[in-house]
Amino acid sequence: MIKHLKSAADLDAATATLILDTAGEMAALAGREVKKLPTLRGRTVVNLFYEDSTRTRISFEAAAKRLSADVINFSAKGSSVSKGESLKDTALTLQAMGADAVVIRHPASGAPHRLASWVDGSVINAGDGTHEHPTQALLDAYTMRSRLGKIEGLKVAIVGDVLHSRVARSNVLLLTTLGAHVTVVGPPTLIPLDVAAALAPGIKVTYDLDSVLADSDVVMMLRVQTERMQDSYFPSAREYSRRYGLDAPRMRKLPEHAIVMHPGPMNRGMEIAPEVADSSRSTIVEQVANGVSARMAVLYLLLGGKA
Amino acid sequence: MTSYLLKGVSVLGGSPTDLLIKDGVIASGAGKADETIDATGLVALPGLVDLHTHLREPGREDAETVETGSRAAALGGYTAVFAMANTSPVADTAGVVEQVWRLGREAGLVDVQPIGAVTVGLAGKQMAELGAMATSAANVRIFSDDGHCVADPRLMRRALEYVKAFDGIIAQHAEEPRLTEGAQMHEGEVSTRLGLTGWPAVAEEAIIARDVLLAEHVGSRLHVCHVSTAGSVEVLRQAKARGVRVTAEVTPHHLLLTDELAASYDPVYKVNPPLRTAKDVEALRQALIEGVIDIVATDHAPHAVEDKECEWAYARPGMVGLETALPVVLSVLGEQWELIAERMSRAPARIAGLTGHGTDLSPGSPANLTLVDPAARRVVDPAELASRSRNTPYAGTTLPGRIVATFLRGEPTVLDGKAVK
């Protein structure tokens, strides 16, 4: 098993499949009266969050606690970080406390890579800048597999601000590894340069959302920050929504079985219409539940599991 | 003054000869000397001249001082370095440039020639007192806002014109700031993969294209700092073919390293302009050989440990380079001594109007020279650097060539590979 999970590219197909299978077992546990496993008893997991992220932090916290790990939440606000402590000094502190795993969320791309060079424990990337968010990709893949039965061969459209999206990068990498056919969709200003060459040579790029809908098994909508408007990535929220938002008429173009995903938090009425978000195709709430199972699987395999 | 006889030295790779250094100059013929140095197998080059050094003093003496930077320079084979203006306070007045110049004289290891800021505080708004710096004891001829681009085209035009009065030259840090807001590395495949904001090649090329046109329009001299892209080379090639008075430099790191190194997220590879692609590296090497790029300049940029041992985005850009420049160039160009002397000594001295450096090692010339052992190999160990900072991208790399001795006006600054003081 790998030691760290810094990027979805750290996962080969076999490892990713093992994590998804394990997540399935963890999910079965959630149905039981006692939701706890003793696997990580006596192990310490630190949640090191330099960005506000209630849902990801809670998800990791629940995952670690269900595995009986001791959880320490370390948030940038109200800690020594706000007094100007460097990431390295924080890392050395955590090291001295004997952290077995550090889950890090950080606004700077590559912060988990730096952290991994300073601590002995496992480092799990919970979102770094505009780089990656590998556990989000795992929970998304898990969600697709449970809804559609497989990942290999699925046609997945990832729509929106691919340039700034760590969710998109991790999903492109993981889904391609697992044999899905990925198309990234968005205005040209929000599609990063040489995206196929950089991430996965097999992916397609299109600027036309309508052209891909009829042939998609999965449409994954990305959050678009309205402040991108000020930077001239697109002229207005309205125009963005008209060209790249998933509304009811567009949803009707999807095949019967297709699902709609969103990593949250959503801008209802911007990239996704409320009636789409609340439709039976939407997996948005499931994604949250699956997040705990996927993160349990990651912690279990990286720390305890001898798989 | 001690005289030295360099026995069996190869001047610029020529057949072994004896070189007598006496009274600060190269003496004619052989003869007796106070000290004899067995220079068998060693190559003599005119002392290297660096048009682009950050010595950090005043302001960041924890990263480098004029003295430690001078020592690093001497150990790298340099006899003259040009100290960039982005100190604290900025070298934008006669007082500051004279202070740096005086500190250089006191250190006495290389000639330290201050570069003056083009604009007050490097802010790009108002022209600094360039004439006062030119007529100061520091005798400034090169002006640069390096670290910042003189982005305002009108201000750039005026600066180019103004310095004609004292045969000055503007050294431009070519970076269109609006295209590089938040930029962290070369924009391309690797930046996309790493999720780091891109620094597009066009941000450099657009400014160089604009500036060569401005220089042509007003008939001034322009020097382009740290050229880093294949596209910039093409702009320069065309400008030179038209007769524009433009010169350009490339750093050793842009001749050797590529953007792939950013994948480690280790900010020791973060530099401005950023490391580019293998295609750019190839174009820069070719341009240096052909003379489209005139010189190698180090952009020696020492940084304190805490400014590099952090997240990539929070790290300061820059690499130390004085002590590794010649070995890197040797590894890129091979033992083309004539070419190396031209690109690292003569041409930079000429561009700067610096007399007494970059001269042939012929009788009567000032004895500014360096002795290199081309057969030696060295594994770069950051702990061994004389610079106060350790941010070298070559840690653990084996590089060819060892600087054995350096002479400044006949006085050794380096002997047996060690600084004399």
Q: Is residue B289 part of a domain?
A: yes
Q: Rounded to an integer, what distance in angstroms lies between the CA atom of residue B158 and that of residue A53?
A: 51
Domain total in chain B: 1
Q: Is residue B151 part of a domain?
A: yes
Say yes or no: A150 and A83 in one domain.
no
Read off the pLDDT band of A307 (50, 70, 90): very low
Q: Rounded to an integer, what distance in angstroms lies between the CA atom of residue A160 and that of residue A144?
A: 19
Q: What distances in angstroms separate CA B55 from CA A157, B315, B389, one per listed residue?
A: 52, 19, 11
- For residue A154, what is the domain's CATH number? 3.40.50.1370
Say yes or no: A271 and A141 in one domain.
yes
Mean pLDDT confidence for A70-92: 82
Per annotation, catalytic residue among B145, B211, B259, B299 = B299
Q: Kindly state the percentage of chain A with pLDDT values over 70.
A: 97
Nearest CA to B253 out of B235, B213, B280, B230 is that of: B280
CA A37 to chain B, closest CA, distance in angstroms equals 36
Say yes or no: A105 and A172 in one domain.
no
Say yes or no: A162 and A35 in one domain.
no
Cis ω for the linkage preceding B273 (within 30 of 0): yes
Q: Rounded to an integer, what distance in angstroms lies between the CA atom of residue B276 and that of residue B136?
A: 39
Q: Rounded to an integer, what distance in angstroms lies between the CA atom of residue B291 and that of residue B288?
A: 5
Say yes or no: A34 and A45 in one domain.
yes
Nearest CA to B327 out of B385, B413, B410, B269 is that of: B385
Task: Classify B405 as helix, strand or coil.
Answer: strand
Q: Is residue A82 part of a domain?
A: yes
Q: Rounded to an integer, what distance in angstroms lies between the CA atom of residue A170 and that of residue A156?
A: 13
Query: For B235-261, what is each residue's pLDDT tens digit?
Result: 999 999 999 999 999 999 999 999 999
Say yes or no: A273 and A292 in one domain.
no
Query: For B291-304, what is each residue's pLDDT tens digit?
Result: 999 999 999 999 99
Give the per-residue pLDDT at A306.
Answer: 46
- B299 classed as catalytic: yes
Give the per-residue pLDDT at B193.
Answer: 98
Domain total in chain A: 2
- For residue B346, what is the domain's CATH number? 3.20.20.140
Residue A153 has pLDDT above 90, yes or no: yes
Q: Is residue A120 part of a domain?
A: yes
Q: Kindly state the percentage of chain A with pLDDT values over 90.
A: 87
Assess contact for B386 and B315: CB atoms under 8 A.
Answer: no
B202 touches chain A (CB under 8 A): no
B96: domain range?
A: 47-358
Task: Classify A123 as helix, strand or coil.
Answer: strand
Provide, as residue numbers in chain A, all residues whose Cβ is less than 8 Å from the Cβ of B265.
Answer: 109-111, 113-114
Give the per-residue pLDDT at A292.
Answer: 96
Which H or E run includes B71? helix B66-75
Provide, as residue numbers in chain B, all residues whose Cβ is less than 8 Å from the Cβ of A108.
Answer: 311-314
How is residue A304 annotated by DSSP? I
Structural tokens at position B305: 């440990």
A148: domain range?
A: 134-284
Pairing of strands B25-26, B35-38: unpaired
Q: Rounded to an integer, what distance in angstroms lies between the CA atom of residue B115 and that of residue B113?
A: 7
Across the interface, do B311 and A194 touch by the CB < 8 Å criterion? Answer: no
Query: For B76-122, what is each residue's pLDDT tens digit?
Result: 999 999 999 999 999 999 999 999 999 999 999 999 999 999 999 99
Q: Is residue B131 part of a domain?
A: yes
Q: Rounded to an integer, what distance in angstroms lies between the CA atom of residue B41 and that of residue B9?
A: 7
Q: Rounded to an integer, what distance in angstroms lies between the CA atom of residue A149 and that of residue A154?
A: 10
Q: Is residue A243 part of a domain?
A: yes
Bridge partners of residue B408, in order along the sequence: B411
Say yes or no: A160 and A259 in one domain.
yes
Pairing of strands A218-221, A101-106: unpaired
Size of interface A-B (CB pairs under 8 A): 71
Say yes or no: A139 and A211 in one domain.
yes
Read off the pLDDT band of A112 (50, 70, 90): very high
How is residue B179 annotated by DSSP? G
Say yes or no: A138 and A276 in one domain.
yes
C-beta atoms surrounding B14 within 10 Å: 12
Pairing of strands B398-408, B4-11: unpaired
Q: Rounded to an integer, what distance in angstroms lies between the CA atom of residue A164 and that of residue A223?
A: 10
B310 touches chain A (CB under 8 A): yes
Instruction: Report how many helices (DSSP H) and strands (DSSP E) chain A contains, helices first.
Output: 12, 9
Nearest CA to A110 out of B191, B290, B237 is that of: B191
CA A189 to chain B, closest CA, distance in angstroms equals 13
Provide, as residue numbers in chain A, all residues whose Cβ is less than 8 Å from the Cβ of B192.
Answer: 192-195, 198-199
Q: Is residue A2 part of a domain?
A: no
Q: Is residue B13 part of a domain?
A: no
Give the per-residue pLDDT at A284.
Answer: 95
Nearest CA to A282 out of A267, A260, A265 is that of: A260
Cα–Cα–Cα angle for B71, B74, B79, nearest 5°?
Answer: 125
Structural tokens at position A95: 């090291």
Say which amino acid occupies A34.
V
Which residues numbered 107-146 in A keep a CB inside 8 Å of some CB on B? Answer: 107-111, 113-114, 117, 128-132
Assess contact for B238 and B186: CB atoms under 8 A.
Answer: no
Q: Is residue B415 part of a domain?
A: no
For residue B307, what is the nearest residue in chain A, using CA coordinates?
A: A86
Bridge partners of residue A219, in order along the sequence: A157, A260
Query: For A196-219, what is each residue's pLDDT tens digit?
Result: 999 999 999 999 999 999 999 999
Cβ-Cβ contacts under 8 Å for B231 (sequence gap 6 or more)? B201, B202, B204, B205
Q: Is residue B34 part of a domain?
A: no
Across the interface, do A108 and B311 touch by the CB < 8 Å criterion? Answer: yes
Q: Rounded to an integer, what distance in angstroms lies between the CA atom of residue B277 and that of residue B275?
A: 7
Task: Classify B169 as helix, strand or coil.
Answer: strand
Say yes or no: A127 and A151 in one domain.
no
Q: Which residues of B31-70 are buried (b: 16+ CB within 10 A; e: fewer)?
A: eebeeebebeebbbbbbbbbbbbbbbbbebeebbbbbbbb
Which H or E run includes B205? helix B201-218
Assess contact for A169 and B195: CB atoms under 8 A.
Answer: yes
For chain B, which residues score pLDDT lower than 50? Answer: none
Structural tokens at position B375: 């057969």
A223 touches chain B (CB under 8 A): no
Say yes or no: A299 and A227 in one domain.
no
Structural tokens at position B416: 């047996």
Mean pLDDT confidence for A67-76: 91
Say yes or no: A68 and A205 in one domain.
no
